[in-house]
Structure formats: structure tokens, C-alpha cells
Amino acid sequence: MSERLDVDICVIGAGSGGLSVAAGASQLGQTVVLCERGKMGGDCLNYGCVPSKSVIAAARAATAMREAGKFGVAPVEPQVDYAALRAHVRGVIAAIAPNDSVERFTGLGVKVIEAGAAFTGPGELHCGAYTIKARRFVIATGSSAAVPPIPGLADVPFLTNETVFDLDQRPRHLIVIGGGPIGCELAQAHRRLGAEVTLIEALPSILTKDDPELAEFVKRRLRRDGVRLLEGAKVLRVEGRGDDLAVIVDKDGVDQRVAGSHLLVATGRRANVKDLNLEAAGVKYSPKGIEVDAHLRTTNRKIYAIGDVAGQYQFTHMAGYHAGIVIRHALFRLPAKVDYRAVPWVTYTEPELANVGMTEAEANKSGETLRILRWPFHENDRAQTERETEGLVKVIATKSGRVLGAGIVGPQAGELIQLWSLVISRKLKLGDVAKLILPYPTLGEVNKRAAGSFFIPKLFSPLTRKIVRFLAKFG
């Protein structure tokens, strides 16, 4: 016999989205149950953002040693100890884990059940030893690596984001299938940590969701780092055993054999819907994820879905954003809706590649007459002192100066894009950015200069010169 619980909110999944809803709701005096079948903290903490950025930090340190010569400091080839690298990654996770722990959430008054949850009806689910009825349910079950049906793949050992951070020896030759952000970040990091790396992408280019003009900088750097890029290469089959593997690809109609020791599959994400028995709850879903309306309600109005499982933007900050919408809509009964006009995303390669709002290609479809503003990092004094001059700010604006989107490729792009998030979400004008007083020398000046370039044609036009000459004469 299972124990019955009757609560205000039942959250399924203790990742970025689920934890935010559970913490918010319990602090607002709601009774909350949180169901988690794996590790508290979900993908971001255990298998995603945190371990990947920790590995990237190590790779940056190795590159700094190798490239120190440009500062007059003797360069050295770094000795990388993968077991110590793994300990570093685990140490970072351990430092953050208490924020997401069962103890913390129990302390907040949340009843945490460490088991898988599945619906038994439209207003009821089963989790571990409990049957739970709730006024509202929030599905926040995230996503998992989508493993494509490549012939031979099931017969060889391969890595995904759930296992790649456990490597305790350097791969001799890492083959990465998938040139999205995850594939690119990990390909570059492992190359910089001393592994041979081949990155295979079926589409004509890697990083296809980003502006190709900006992605080109990342491509160039990956190649310079020594990553072998195979774009437009369709994987036909995988073969081998142990650490003697081969991926056979079709590149331009010719079969090529890529031999390596380890294989990482990073070919996209699949929403975690399978074990939830959503049919019993009347919740519709597709391979892309759970269907939601603008309030993040599913086809069952008592059930919300947030984060990766709701499909569209699979980022930690979007899971957090969704959580805020659900709290306002479900608890405060406010008409809170999602607004995707200012969604930022960052690929943490070097150079970093960041975007917010529309890309140029998307803006072209809007029918607006566009002004495209560009400012290169090599014109920035701080970038020169840091010897990080590769990159570009690109702002997509209307003729009247309304900003539709911005992209940055270059040092600290993930930090620098945040100004444009504010500009787009608060509907600020380019003049607001151009008039800022910024500390010198900072990388942020690239944003001001890009905004300022909007006014240059008018400012130095023949008419303006005439007016100034007139005022000088008679003023």
C-alpha cells in the first residue's frame, strides 16, 4: 500500500527548472513535493553546464601555458593529468551541490522523494512509496542525449554527456559526432588538453543555429587549435572494439574512415517524457517535447511543463525563466506569459559565441529594413592588451534604431551580450548605449562603439558639416 500525499504543488524533476519552482513555491507557503529519480541538480550540475565549463576552464589554463610566448613569458607544453582533471570537475560540482541538495530543500519545507514519478490519472501520480494528489503539477524532467540509429553504434563503447566527464585518462583520439554547441565546446577543450580530436557534422556547417559570419571565427580557431573538422559528413556506420574504433562517413560522395580511440555522441537532445505515463494525465507530447501554451500549461490545465522537456530553448537560464512564469501564473494567478524576444545563448568555445534576439537571417524574414552594425575586437584597446583581438560585435537594428538582435564572437562574449539582452527586453534605443560613459580600457566598449556606428553616417554628413560651419561663422 502506498502512502497518500495531498499537496499544493508536485514538481517532477530536481534540475534547474524544478528546483526553482520547488524553492519558490515552498517559500510562498505552499505544500510542495519534489520527485527526483537521479541526482539532485539535474543535468546542468551533474552532466552539463557545470562539468563542461570546468573542463573548458582547465583547457583555457593549458592554452595559456602553451601560448604564453606572445606576452614574453616562456611557453611550455602543459602536462595534463586526466585523473586530476576529473577530480577538479568533481570538486566544482561538490562545491555547488549543497544549493541543490535534499537537505537544503527539506530545510525549506519541501518533501523530496528520491524515485521516478509516473502519472496514474489526470490529477494523481505515483512516486516511490507514495501516491500524490496535487492542485498543480509541474513537469521538469529535462532531456537526455539523443543517440541516432547509426549502424554499429550500439556495438561499440561510446560516450555521451553523462559519461564524458568521468574520463580519467586522456583519449588518444576523440571522435565527436555532432557539431552543435556541446560537440564544439568539448572537441576544443579535449584538443587543448592534448587529445587528437576529429569533429564530424552532417550538415554543411557546425553551429548552424548561429549567425554563419560569427560562427566562422569559431571554426577558424578550432582548426588552428588542431581540431579536424569534417563538415557535411554523413556518418554511415561505426565499427571496432575497445579503444580501436572507426567512424565511416560519406563526405562529398566518397567514403572516409576516421579512426580513433574514443567516441562522443553529441547529436542533440531528446525530451524525457517516456516514463511519465503522460497518456494517463491527458498531456500531449511529440518527439520535440511536451506541448505547452504561452503560460506553459500543458493540454491538462492543472499540469505545467518547463525547461528542456518543454522543447524550444534548452538552456538552464530558460528553465529558470520558465519557473518564474509558472510561479506567477499558478500561484499568483497573474497572466504571466513567455516572451522569447530576448533569449540569449552562448557557446563557450574560444572565442565565445553569444547571441540574443534575432539573428540577421531571422530579421531578414521580418520584412523590416535593417541596419547591420559591426565593430571588430581588434579596434578595442583592452582586447589588444590581452592579445585577444579576434572577433566581432554585430547588431541587427531597424532603420529607426530599434534593436532586434545582437551577436558577439570574441573574448567574454557571454558577459558582453548581457547589455543587449537589457536593450532588447527593455526596448532601449541604440542612442542609450552610444551615450553610456564606460570605463577605459574595457572590452565592453565594443558594444558602445557598435551602437555609435549607427549615428556616424548622419553625424558626419555634408549637411551636418554645413551646419557646423554656419554656426562657427555666425554663432
Ligand X SMILES: Cc1cc2nc3c(=O)[nH]c(=O)nc-3n(C[C@H](O)[C@H](O)[C@H](O)COP(=O)(O)OP(=O)(O)OC[C@H]3O[C@@H](n4cnc5c(N)ncnc54)[C@H](O)[C@@H]3O)c2cc1C
Nearer CB in complex with ligand X: 36/350: 36
Q: Is 140 in the site for ligand X (CB under 6 A)?
A: yes
Q: Tell me the number of residues near ligand X by CB under 6 A.
A: 37
Q: Is 270 in the site for ligand X (CB under 6 A)?
A: no
Near ligand X by CB under 6 A: residue from 30, 54, 161, 298? 161
Q: Is 142 in the site for ligand X (CB under 6 A)?
A: yes
Q: Is 48 in the site for ligand X (CB under 6 A)?
A: yes
Q: Is 199 in the site for ligand X (CB under 6 A)?
A: no
Burial of 465 (0-12, 13-18, 19+ CB in 10 A): exposed
Q: Is 180 in the site for ligand X (CB under 6 A)?
A: no
Q: Is 210 in the site for ligand X (CB under 6 A)?
A: no
**3-state secondary structure string across 280-324:** HHCCCEECCEECCCCCCECCCCCEEECHHHHCCCCCHHHHHHHHH
Interface segment toward ligand X; rule CB under 6 A; list 76-84, 249-257, 316-324, 432-440: 316-324
Q: Is 178 in the site for ligand X (CB under 6 A)?
A: no
Rounded to a whole number of angstroms, the minimum distance from the CB of residue 434 to ligand X is 30
Nearer CB in complex with ligand X: 112/358: 112
Q: Is 13 in the site for ligand X (CB under 6 A)?
A: yes
Rounded to a whole number of angstroms, the minimum distance from the CB of residue 345 to ligand X is 7
Near ligand X by CB under 6 A: residue from 24, 307, 344, 407? 307
Q: The cell 586522456 sits on which residue?
A: 170
Q: Is 218 in the site for ligand X (CB under 6 A)?
A: no
Nearer CB in complex with ligand X: 20/63: 20
Q: The cell 565592453 sits on which residue?
A: 444
Rounded to a whole number of angstroms, the minimum distance from the CB of residue 44 to ligand X is 4
Q: Long-range contacts for 378-385 (Cβ within 8 Å, ≥24 apart)?
A: 379/446, 379/449, 380/441, 380/443, 380/445, 380/446, 380/449, 381/440, 381/441, 381/445, 382/441, 382/442, 382/443, 382/445, 383/410, 383/411, 383/443, 383/446, 385/441
Rounded to a whole number of angstroms, the minimum distance from the CB of residue 244 to ligand X is 26
Near ligand X by CB under 6 A: residue from 317, 328, 402, 429? 317
Rounded to a whole number of angstroms, the minimum distance from the CB of residue 21 to ligand X is 9
Q: Is 52 in the site for ligand X (CB under 6 A)?
A: yes
Q: Is 116 in the site for ligand X (CB under 6 A)?
A: yes
Q: Is 38 in the site for ligand X (CB under 6 A)?
A: yes
Between 387 and 426, how does the x/- string for binding to ligand X read (CB under 6 A)?
A: ----------------------------------------
**3-state secondary structure string across 204-231:** CCCCCCCCHHHHHHHHHHHHHHCCEEEC
Q: Is 21 in the site for ligand X (CB under 6 A)?
A: no
Beta bridge partners of 263: 175
DSSP secondary structure, 379-394, as one string: G-HHHHHHT----EEE
* Count of other CB atoms within 10 angstroms of residue 336: 17
Helix count and strand count (H, E) for the chain: 17, 23
| CB-based contact 47:163 (threshold 8 Å) | no
Rounded to a whole number of angstroms, the minimum distance from the CB of residue 453 to ligand X is 30
Q: Is 49 in the site for ligand X (CB under 6 A)?
A: yes
CA 135 – CA 143 distance, rounded (Å): 25
What dihedral angle (degrees, nearest 10) is formed by the CA atoms of 440, 442, 448, 449?
90
Rounded to a whole number of angstroms, the minimum distance from the CB of residue 313 to ligand X is 8
Q: Is 37 in the site for ligand X (CB under 6 A)?
A: yes
Q: Is 276 in the site for ligand X (CB under 6 A)?
A: yes
Interface segment toward ligand X; rule CB under 6 A; list 42-50, 206-214, 428-436, 448-456: 42-50
CA 433 – CA 453 distance, rounded (Å): 11
CA 29 – CA 331 distance, rounded (Å): 10
Beta bridge partners of 130: 3, 127
Beta strands in 151-290 (DSSP E): 173-177, 196-200, 228-230, 233-241, 244-251, 254-260, 262-265, 269-271, 285-286, 289-290
Q: Is 22 in the site for ligand X (CB under 6 A)?
A: no
Q: Is 289 in the site for ligand X (CB under 6 A)?
A: no
| CB-based contact 415:344 (threshold 8 Å) | no
Q: Is 280 in the site for ligand X (CB under 6 A)?
A: no
Rounded to a whole number of angstroms, the minimum distance from the CB of residue 424 to ligand X is 18
Residues that bind ligand X (CB under 6 A): 12-18, 35-38, 42-44, 47-49, 52, 116-117, 140-142, 161, 182, 272, 275-276, 307-309, 314-317, 319, 348
